[in-house]
Amino acid sequence: MSDIHRNRRTSTKMMLIAGSGWLRIVLTLLVTLYLTPLLISELGLALYGVFMFVAITMLMNAPMRAAVGKTLTRELTAAISASDARRTREVFTNGWCIAAIAAAIAGIVGTVLVVVVPAAFNFSPQHTSYVRLALICEVVLAVEMFLLAPFKNLYLATHRHMQENANRTIERCLDLISALIAFYILRFDPFVAFIVSRVVMRSLFNIRKAFVISRAVPDARFTPSMIDRRVMKKLAATGGWAMGNSVSRLGYYLSDQVLLNLFFGPLYNGIYAIINQLRAYTRMFGGNVSFGVESVSTDLHSRGQAASTRMLLLATMKFTLAVTLLFGALIGVFAGPLMEAWLGNRLVESEHELAQVGLTVESAIVFAWVFIGILIPGVVLAEMNVAATNVLYGMGHEKSFAPALFAGAILKIALALVLLIGLGAGPMALAWSTAVVQILVFGVYFPYLIRRLTGISLLDQYKVTYLRPLAAVAPVVGIGLWMSLNLGPWRPPAGAPTLSFELLKVGACMGVLGVLWAGLAFLFVFNAHERARVLGLAAPVLRRIGLGRFAPKAAPKRGGGKRRAGAGALSDEAAATASSAPGDDPSRAPQAPPSAQP
């Protein structure tokens, strides 16, 4: 009886964590919908491009941040779960030392950028001082972020996922509050006021976060006597391979901001910043599906449950692809109408700036729409396989997949430079170089890699992870295209509020398609066992609203054996694949990382 209650509590907690992640993304999206047109209106498209260029340039420390974050989260989780106060202090102390070294590196590199970037890139003289100020503020935030990283990772290590999601939402809201203070209260140079307000408010909030969690976890404190070079070296070695996904995103997306500014000027940065936000939300909604799957994979793999781990891998890939496909389809189909309704009037205010690079408002929107349309297939494939790497990471395979991620990022940049320099191609070459390399790496190479590491055949991978999600999204694409081409005009009249009727109309169309997809996904993406589990969880609500006849009379059977129990609500196809795949012998399974072993 206690096991049943414990399982229910765990399921409820997992749903609450996932729900808080979705809520964070939605609230962040709402802030972005208001903040982006506000910044373009107050700063102009060129200065908005300067701000986004600097912000994205400083994200180049993301690989180092990922290395520190993943390592500390895993090691602190193991120590705190074991109630080992000494080990907790040891990991925290040496982890903070590594974070301090990373902060010093970020500070040095940032200082060099402050000196070099304004002269090396294509900035006009009136923008040079703004670039330097923005870089200085971003360097301050980067150094602060590393110094406080161990405290941030304590939220995840102590399973305060919902609190961390709330903190991330507040951080994004602080950007909007900073803009409102800068533009409507301070009333001096809007760019300077916004940049300074933003760094002050974020810094104060980050310090408060560290103070709160340090009081909640008193064992996690810096103890100078526990500084150990061997422990630091071990933590650094573990984190080095965790940089693969961040380096991959750096090469595929963040490099575009630098190359656009270098070859075409800051105005294209402003346009690309809009493209990148839409692409990022496609990725974020899909990526939330695999949130926390590393710990599940580590647990199954360390117990020698190879079949269950393969089932988890296939299910993670299937559901990540399904969700990413939906949002990729919605963004791809409605990117043009969304930009018309959301930013059309703001771009009109920057029409003279667009004219300097030979663009009109209409051609700028078409350019962005085509650019993101080229990116979407690669983004979908990449997100599905990045979710797969989370499972592989828990299995201890980071050394197998990380080189492919590094190589893909380098190949993308190299191909882009060949097209831009060698062939004199235009800015659209960046989209094509990203799409081609992502399809090769994630659509061709990764299935072979997964087959080699797990024994799952290519046919089973494509059958389980592709066919069902594609069947659910195909009608959405067709109907969505008809809506985007026939339900216009999408641009609101001059003087309309940010939340205009046209923007609401775009949202309503996307909402209708989302509901349609949910029904199709329930039929096509979920199999019979999964549908029964969902209905079982929803049974009390169905009975309360008079639809009890659709609720199963009894909870669906979990199936026999540890394999089914460990994997949970995974697909029947995955179960068949896992049963037939080699390597169920625990002694033949690759070993999990030392900190993950029981």
Overall residue count recorded for the chain in this entry: 598
The alpha carbon of residue 57 and the mean position of all alpha carbons in its chain are separated, in whole angstroms, by 17
- Of the candidates 362, 338, 337, 358, the one whose C-alpha atom is nearest the C-alpha of residue 427 is 358
* CA separation for the pair 582, 226 (Å, rounded): 44
Torsion of CA 129, 127, 252, 136, to 10 degrees: 10
Residues 6+ apart with CB under 8 A from 187: 193
* CA separation for the pair 191, 182 (Å, rounded): 8
Quote the tokens at residue 508: 């309503």
Long-range Cβ contacts of 562-568 (<8 Å, 24+ apart): 562/305, 562/308, 563/305, 563/307, 563/308, 563/311, 566/300, 566/303, 566/305, 566/308, 567/300, 567/308, 567/311, 567/312, 567/315
* CA separation for the pair 378, 437 (Å, rounded): 8
Residues 6+ apart with CB under 8 A from 494: 345, 348
Q: Would you give per-residue pLDDT tens digits along the chain (598 residues)?
A: 333 333 334 344 545 666 677 778 788 888 888 888 888 888 888 888 888 888 877 777 777 777 777 777 777 877 777 778 888 888 888 888 988 988 998 899 888 888 888 877 767 788 888 889 999 999 999 899 889 888 888 887 777 777 888 888 898 899 999 999 999 998 788 999 999 999 999 999 999 998 998 888 888 888 888 888 888 887 776 666 566 666 777 778 778 878 887 888 777 877 888 888 888 878 877 777 766 666 667 667 666 777 777 888 888 888 888 889 999 999 989 988 888 888 777 777 777 878 877 888 888 888 889 999 999 999 899 888 888 887 887 677 777 787 888 888 889 999 999 999 988 888 899 999 999 999 999 999 999 998 888 888 888 888 878 888 998 999 999 999 999 988 878 888 877 676 778 888 988 999 999 999 988 988 888 877 777 777 776 677 667 766 666 666 654 444 444 333 333 334 444 443 444 343 333 333 333 333 333 2
Q: Indicate the burial class of 190 (C-beta count within 10 angstroms; 0-12, 13-18, 19 or more).
A: middle
Kindly tell me the sign of the dihedral angle through the C-alpha atoms of 166, 91, 593, 408: positive
Residue 123, helix vs strand vs coil: coil
- pLDDT for the residue 204: 94
CB atoms near residue 61 (< 10 Å): 24
CB atoms near residue 46 (< 10 Å): 22
* CA separation for the pair 97, 92 (Å, rounded): 9
* CA separation for the pair 113, 57 (Å, rounded): 9
* CA separation for the pair 119, 113 (Å, rounded): 10
* CA separation for the pair 139, 539 (Å, rounded): 52
In angstroms, the Cα distances linking 425 to 24, 357, 369, 573 are 39, 15, 19, 45
Q: Indicate the burial class of 584 (C-beta count within 10 angstroms; 0-12, 13-18, 19 or more).
A: middle
- pLDDT for the residue 285: 76
- Of the candidates 196, 223, 257, the one whose C-alpha atom is nearest the C-alpha of residue 94 is 223
Residue 581, helix vs strand vs coil: coil
* CA separation for the pair 203, 374 (Å, rounded): 38
- pLDDT for the residue 580: 39
- pLDDT for the residue 17: 62
Quote the tokens at residue 128: 């040079």
CB atoms near residue 559 (< 10 Å): 12
Q: How many helices (H) and strands (E) does the chain have?
A: 25, 0
- Of the candidates 444, 467, 455, 449, the one whose C-alpha atom is nearest the C-alpha of residue 310 is 455
* CA separation for the pair 136, 152 (Å, rounded): 23
Residue 304, helix vs strand vs coil: coil
Residues 6+ apart with CB under 8 A from 30: none
For the entire predicted model, the pTM comes to 0.70
Which strand (E) or helix (H) includes residue 277?
helix 266-287
* CA separation for the pair 556, 566 (Å, rounded): 15
* CA separation for the pair 150, 255 (Å, rounded): 28
CB atoms near residue 544 (< 10 Å): 9
- pLDDT for the residue 582: 38
* CA separation for the pair 311, 527 (Å, rounded): 14
Find out whether 335 and 484 touch, Cβ atoms under 8 Å.
Answer: no
* CA separation for the pair 391, 464 (Å, rounded): 17
Kindly tell me the sign of the dihedral angle through the C-alpha atoms of 289, 290, 291, 296: positive
Residues 6+ apart with CB under 8 A from 368: 271, 274, 275, 335, 339
| R_g of the chain computed on alpha carbons | 25
Residue 456, helix vs strand vs coil: coil
DSSP 291: T
Torsion of CA 125, 127, 128, 133, to 10 degrees: 160
